[in-house]
Amino acid sequence: MSSSTLSAVIEKLIRSLCLNDFPGGNGTWRNTKGSAERAEMESTDALLDLLSCPHSPWRHDAMWSPQALPLRQLAVLTPERLHAPFIYNYFTSLRIVDRDVTAIDGGLLKFSKLEELVLSANKISEVPTVHLPGTLKILELRANRLSSLDSLTSGAPPPHLQYLGLGSNTLGSHNDVTHLTGRQWPQLVCLDLSDCGFQDQPALLNGLSTLPCLRTLLLEGNPFALASSYPGLTVDSLPQLSCLDTSWISPEERIRFRGLAKMSGLAVGIASPTVSVGRMMGIPDPQMTVDDKAPIFPVVSYHYFITYEFLRHQTPAHSKLDTETKSDTRSVTEGQRSKENGEKQTSKQDGGILNSEKPSCGNTCEVLRHSTSKLSWSESMDFGDTQTHTVSALGDLKKFLNRGLHLCLEEEKVLSWPAACEEVPLTKANQTGKEKKGRREKESPVKSDFTKSKDKNKKSVSELVQDAPIRRILGSVHIPLQSLVRGGQQVKVLCDFGMLHTDSEVEATQTHQKDLGRKIKDDKKKEDKETKRRQHNAASSKDKEKKSLEVHDSITSQQEPVIVELIVELKKWQTASEAHHFLLPQTS
């Protein structure tokens, strides 16, 4: 695509006003004084109505400038005044939004009375100040391709500029901070730096404190805004500020954060996101479909837990915050150690098992998987798991929150067998079918001993040998967290994992389908000899299948979706006294 200069886009918009065409301009349709009346002539009022009537084909919605419609009216009232210099000087506001503008050229200087210039959502990478009219008071450059402010301050910026919008650009370097001082912008009242990449909060506030007229500031969406010190440090560092991130700063708020900016050794570049996993409901009871005639062994136990990935803990040296991360790091280490010991993790694709999607944070973010405690089945399982993740890489945290959190629901199944003795060999997970069959024949006398009394049926855990756990992912959900980046402090949701089924239900369905297929094959072999019997068997088979489906549908209709409570919160300092706990110790 060829580049589009700003002046070329504006000229095209002015031509679209059709100032010299009907109903404006000096045409034969005008009824002027001294001219003979003709049938095709229109009165001035009628021509003006054609410009504003909702159903008129000459009505033009010119949202790009408040002066566009008045200029069309002038084309009807006094068309002789509409020469080029008059038109250029008539515009005081231009809003060129999403027009694929790539460059601001010198043609803009023709608009000598321009006070407002909005260039949002374009493709501008440089803003040469020599091409900006000196009369500008408002300059909006949101959502462009600015990666540096060098061009904006290389010359003399508009001296009367009161509003500067730089949000949603790839700004944030230390060099950009040096261009945001009172020397360049002596009359700046409102500054928008939201959704940029600024990470060094003290350095930016040090520069902004030199802006003598600054009253309104937008900073949400920057990485440092995720830190616990925001907005308290900003409020105390800029006493002249009246509004921060579209919220008025109250006197009570200033009192709460008084003295925060003067604290030395303050850990200001650290965020403390907290993830809390609460109750889980809706898991079907795995023992509901167990056959009463099934053998005593193996004893099958089920446990359920939640896993998710979060940024690796990045606690700075000498910080007092490292004590909060020990429990989480230990839990992750234990999970990794259990995997090394040969635990099986399987993700089945059976009916009712939702496919899982492994989350990723890209190449720059290191993540660790956290696992809650494993709970045995109950109608309502309360994990009560709360982890505070201390993160100092605020840029990575912003990327992670924009991608969202992936929550996985996992099931752990453990088979337990009697302990090894002279008559009963120890069952291994890797035994062949023949070995397992021989073992079952040998241990049948032992089973009969267990069936003689209830006390012997209930063997203690120490007398049972457990196989390696078999894990499977029952489902996963994605939790959007963009609201935390945009200024929110908490995301509280009920995660819906959908309808799940137990192992027994899945196996029973598969067994029923196999038996039904085998029955159909047998019926086909006897088709020639026993026609009547085959029809009877087919009818009874259909009845059984119908009953089985009815039972399955009734079970499914009684189930509820699996719901898990989740809260993700960004902890913020509420007072200056609270920040005392986050002071770094002084080194000698």
pLDDT exceeds cutoff 60 at 347:
no
- Give the pLDDT score at 154: 86
Is residue 72 a contact partner of residue 96, using CB atoms and an 8 Å limit? no
Separation CA 555–CA 488 (nearest Å): 41
For the segment 492-500, the average pLDDT, to the nearest whole number, is 92
Is residue 234 a contact partner of residue 214, using CB atoms and an 8 Å limit? no
Q: pLDDT exceeding 70 applies to what percent of the chain? A: 68
For the segment 12-30, the average pLDDT, to the nearest whole number, is 77
pLDDT, tens digit, 9 for 90 and up, residues 501-523: 655 444 444 444 555 556 556 66
Is residue 94 a contact partner of residue 65, using CB atoms and an 8 Å limit? yes
- Give the pLDDT score at 176: 96
pLDDT band at 348 (very low <50, low <70, confident <90, very high): very low
Q: Which of 130-134, 316-320, 529-533, 567-571 has the lowest mean pLDDT?
A: 316-320
pLDDT band at 189 (very low <50, low <70, confident <90, very high): very high
For the segment 87-97, the average pLDDT, to the nearest whole number, is 96
Longest CA–CA separation in the chain, Å? 128
Most confident region among 291-295, 378-382, 518-522 by mean pLDDT: 378-382
Separation CA 566–CA 550 (nearest Å): 35
In whole angstroms, how large is the CA radius of gyration of the chain? 37
Full DSSP string of 218-249: E-TTSGGGGSTTTTHHHHHH-TT--EETTEEP
Which has more pLDDT, 126 or 294?
A: 126
- Give the pLDDT score at 511: 47
- Give the pLDDT score at 365: 61
pLDDT, tens digit, 9 for 90 and up, residues 428-449: 444 444 444 444 444 444 344 4
Residue 236's H or E segment, with its range, is helix 232-237
Task: For each of the domains in the chain, give its residue range(s) and CATH number, in order of start.
Answer: 270-287+295-314+365-419+464-498+561-577 (2.60.40.150)
pLDDT, tens digit, 9 for 90 and up, residues 39-77: 456 667 777 777 777 777 777 778 999 999 999 888 888
pLDDT exceeds cutoff 50 at 427:
no
Is residue 370 a contact partner of residue 328, using CB atoms and an 8 Å limit? yes
- Give the pLDDT score at 418: 87
pLDDT exceeds cutoff 70 at 341:
no
pLDDT, tens digit, 9 for 90 and up, residues 200-259: 999 999 999 999 999 999 999 999 999 999 999 999 999 999 999 989 999 999 999 999
pLDDT band at 531 (very low <50, low <70, confident <90, very high): low
pLDDT exceeds cutoff 90 at 326:
no
Torsion sign over Cα 201, 204, 210, 212: negative
Separation CA 194–CA 239 (nearest Å): 20
Whole-number Cα distances in Å, 439 to 447, 452, 464: 12, 21, 16
60 backbone dihedrals φ, ψ, rounded to 5°? -135, 120
For the segment 337-350, the average pLDDT, to the nearest whole number, is 39
For the segment 288-311, the average pLDDT, to the nearest whole number, is 86
- Is pTM beyond 0.95 here? no
For the segment 271-281, the average pLDDT, to the nearest whole number, is 96
pLDDT band at 543 (very low <50, low <70, confident <90, very high): low
